[in-house]
């Protein structure tokens, strides 16, 4: 009995490995200039180019925390998993060179779900030329002896390259620098709100994702913007907006030991979004960066709109971030984090 | 209510991040020659040395699959998580340069458990001079109706360096090469069997881990052996024994397109282990490697015993691996995989 279970289990894992390996082989090295050996040995092998630094990031994507199987098409879960890592690479101004995926799925989950997860993952990987170079697989255990309660867990690792010493850090901003943001804010949170409302009205509703932009389901990491900033050498600091403007600007201020003033009327709020969503909604995956006042920052970078939304000030620990309203008042911007599905799903 | 839960949740995650960051800062860069920027930005930054390749590996450690909270002291879970990655780096003959840990823990789990997990992790990291350079944290979800059912999930990423073109691959063995193994086989499986038996007799028994070697609880990845093999340029192929000799030798044969003959009486079987455990027991984390017959492979490498256990043969697809018994018979060695706790725990 145990033996039988064990064999089935191993077979499931072997199938998963074979599925991922086949996709990786079909894709090849993409545009990677440094990947020498991908899936199939104890480690992948990379040969860095002289004059380049490497950047490395990992991001967890947990079912019921970062996505829900009843809300997100598998393609969206796969896309979002990779997008989280790519956005960190974009924030450093780097070029993605290799992705590694650690994936645990419950035994009960159909191979079709995993195939579709990989479809979403690989489509985004191919768009940015980043090869799937390795990873790990396992079968997620069921929770508390309840069959079918296992959850999907994915961890994405991204490795990118950037000219030596040119990576964009959170810590490089100076007092007087102008604060810029790409694209629009709050779009992902607004789309998530619509999904939640729909689910609230009709809990069994099947979520349909049509054509057109989907900032929540299919965010577009700003890799071209990050690389342009490095090429032009104009940014002093950068961070990606994964946790929301109020939180991520807070990180940038802390690491640069500065305060910030944001002009409320300058914020590029997404069409369907509220001001709250633009300020605190996470997962927009836009870039927030600073540049000296003399820098000629263009209105678009890499095809994406860029807006000046404020400026960096000397550190004032009592008022780390302030907003300037249209009528000239200054109000503090409090941090509010990103909402997780699990909590919000109960609301 | 939802807001309250959300805030608690965020606090838990922030505490976890602070805990890991504090440990990483206390440790510094260890012996890493390439880490430039660790935890605290969107990515870590590394500056590879000219003439070196990088190797990258990721390994999942899931509660109830790779460890059990009721069997493993938290220090052992942390040690084993890192050891899995270090062993892959050892198998490439590389020097570990940076570790990244993605860790999801249930809200109910005490900070003390996580502290002790990190104690075990960091002690091994410091022994090998590898800095904790980044990672991610999250709170593992529980079953809605069953609080406390969340599970610990860890994903370890290791990055190592090796002189360019010198990484030990699985695919480099040639017919006629001698097959070597380090240390002893089956020790980890034998220790696991003793734990299982104890648990079977007294399910509530507290597992005590005393002084002395513990091949299951505290395996010792063979980094010094791997580096010595590269330095001496004597190995043609290598793999680590994570899934057991029969499975991992199978991988080496496949990637090198060869068969193998193993001399049964030459196997270094650990004192408490059965032949089955030596052949199929996983997680010994010894190295299996090949070298030409003319190579002067010493009896110990990096302080660890090295034994010639057989040789590589031209590919015979019907008999990929054979064992030569003391009385001269040749019997096929079937692959049997690694036993997972979940299945075995039910047995």
What digits encode the pLDDT tens for the residues B315-341? 998 889 999 999 999 999 988 765 444
pLDDT at residue A10, rounded to an integer: 55
**B347 pLDDT above the threshold of 70:** no
Q: What is the pLDDT of residues B71-126, one digit of tens each?
A: 999 999 999 999 999 999 999 999 999 999 999 999 888 889 999 999 999 999 99
Euclidean distance between CA atoms A160 and A56, whole angstroms: 7
- Name the least confident of A209-213, A320-324, B102-106: A209-213
Q: Percent of chain B beyond pLDDT 70?
A: 93
A and B: number of Cβ contacts within 8 A: 233
Question: How many other CB atoms are found less than 10 A from the CB of residue B56?
Answer: 29
Euclidean distance between CA atoms B312 and B298, whole angstroms: 19
The model's confidence at residue B179, banded by pLDDT at 50, 70 and 90, is: very high
pLDDT at residue B230, rounded to an integer: 97
Q: Which residue has the tokens 């890592």?
A: A85
Euclidean distance between CA atoms B234 and B310, whole angstroms: 17
Q: What is the pLDDT of residues A257-282, one digit of tens each?
A: 999 999 999 999 999 999 999 999 98
Euclidean distance between CA atoms B255 and B247, whole angstroms: 13
Pairwise CB contact (< 8 Å): B41 & A169: yes
The model's confidence at residue B11, banded by pLDDT at 50, 70 and 90, is: low
Q: Which residue has the tokens 């190592």?
A: B160
**pTM of the full structure:** 0.91
Q: What is the largest CA-CA distance in chain B?
A: 74
| pLDDT (mean) for A171-193 | 96
Contacts of A151 in chain B (CB under 8 A): 141
The model's confidence at residue A249, banded by pLDDT at 50, 70 and 90, is: very high
User: Is B75 in CB contact (< 8 Å) with chain A?
Assistant: no
What value does the CA radius of gyration of chain B take, rounded to a whole number of Å?
Answer: 21
Pairwise CB contact (< 8 Å): B92 & A10: no
Q: Which residue has the tokens 């099947």?
A: A206
pLDDT at residue B337, rounded to an integer: 60
Q: Which of B9, B36, B43 to mutate to test binding with chain A, by most A CBs within 10 Å of its CB?
A: B43
pLDDT at residue B32, rounded to an integer: 92
The model's confidence at residue A120, banded by pLDDT at 50, 70 and 90, is: very high
Residues 6+ apart with CB under 8 A from B257: B315
- The minimum CA-CA distance between A327 and chain B, rounded to whole Å, is 31
Choose among A2, A60, A146: nearest Cβ to B344.
Answer: A2
DSSP A255-322: HHTEEEEEEGGG--B-TT--HHHHHH------EEEEE-TTS---SEETTEEEEEEEEEEE--TT-SEE
Alpha carbon A99 to chain centroid, angstroms: 13
CA proximity to B77, closest of B108, B23, B116, B133: B116
Mean pLDDT of chain A: 90
Choose among B149, B159, B167: nearest Cβ to A143.
Answer: B149
Start-to-end C-alpha separation, chain B: 43
- The minimum CA-CA distance between B149 and chain A, rounded to whole Å, is 6
Choose among B40, B43, B59: nearest Cβ to A92.
Answer: B43
Q: Which residue has the tokens 């069994």?
A: A204
**B21 pLDDT above the threshold of 80:** yes
Contacts of A135 in chain B (CB under 8 A): 58
DSSP B193-241: HHHHHHHHH-TTPPP---SS--TTTS----HHHHHHHHHHT--SEEEE-
The model's confidence at residue B1, banded by pLDDT at 50, 70 and 90, is: very low
- Closest residue in chain B to residue A65, using alpha carbons only: B141
The model's confidence at residue A191, banded by pLDDT at 50, 70 and 90, is: very high
Contacts of A155 in chain B (CB under 8 A): 58, 60, 102, 136, 155
The model's confidence at residue B7, banded by pLDDT at 50, 70 and 90, is: very low
Strand blocks (E) in A1-152: 35-37, 44-46, 52-62, 95-106, 132-140
Q: What is the pLDDT of residues B118-170, one digit of tens each?
A: 999 999 999 999 999 999 999 998 877 787 789 999 999 999 999 999 999 99
In contact, A222 and A287? CB cutoff 8 Å: yes
User: Is A220 in CB contact (< 8 Å) with chain B?
Assistant: no
Question: What one-character DSSP code corresponds to residue B42?
Answer: S
Contacts of B42 in chain A (CB under 8 A): 55, 57, 88-89, 91-92, 170, 238-240
| pLDDT (mean) for A138-164 | 90
**A1 pLDDT above the threshold of 70:** no
Q: Which of A32, A38, A43 to mutate to test binding with chain B, by most B CBs within 10 Å of its CB?
A: A43
């Amino acid at each position: 009995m145990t033996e039988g279970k064990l064999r089935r289990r191993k077979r499931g894992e072997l199938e998963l490995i074979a599925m991922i390996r086949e996709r990786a082989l079909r894709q090849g090295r993409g545009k990677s200039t440094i990947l020498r050996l991908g899936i199939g040995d104890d480690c992948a092998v990379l040969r860095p180019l002289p004059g380049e630094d490497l950047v490395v990031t990992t991001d967890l994507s947990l079912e019921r925390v970062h996505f829900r199987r009843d809300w997100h098409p598998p393609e969206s879960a796969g896309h979002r998993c990779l997008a989280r890592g790519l956005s960190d690479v974009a924030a450093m101004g780097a070029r993605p060179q290799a992705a590694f995926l650690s994936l645990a799925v419950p035994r009960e989950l159909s191979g079709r779900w995993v195939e579709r997860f990989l479809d979403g993952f690989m489509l985004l990987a191919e768009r940015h030329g980043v090869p799937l170079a390795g990873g790990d697989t396992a079968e997620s255990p069921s929770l508390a002896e309840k069959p079918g309660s296992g959850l999907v867990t994915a961890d994405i690792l991204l490795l990118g390259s950037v000219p030596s010493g040119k990576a964009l850090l959170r810590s490089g901003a100076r007092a007087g620098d102008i604060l810029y943001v790409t694209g629009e804010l709050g779009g992902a949170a607004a789309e998530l709100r619509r999904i939640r409302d729909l689910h609230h009205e009709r809990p069994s509703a099947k979520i349909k994702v049509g054509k057109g932009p989907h900032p929540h389901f299919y965010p577009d990491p700003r890799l071209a913007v990050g690389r342009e900033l490095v090429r032009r050498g104009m940014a002093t600091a950068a961070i990606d907006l994964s946790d929301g403007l109020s939180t991520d600007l807070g990180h940038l201020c802390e690491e640069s030991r500065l305060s910030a003033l944001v002009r409320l009327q300058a914020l590029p709020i997404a069409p369907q979004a509220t001001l709250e969503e633009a300020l605190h909604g996470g997962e927009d995956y836009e870039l927030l960066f600073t540049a000296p006042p003399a820098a000629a920052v263009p209105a678009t970078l890499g095809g994406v709109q860029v807006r000046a939304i404020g400026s960096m000030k000397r550190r004032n620990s009592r008022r780390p971030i302030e907003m300037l309203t249209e009528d000239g008042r200054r109000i503090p911007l409090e941090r509010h984090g990103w909402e997780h599905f699990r909590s919000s799903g109960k609301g």
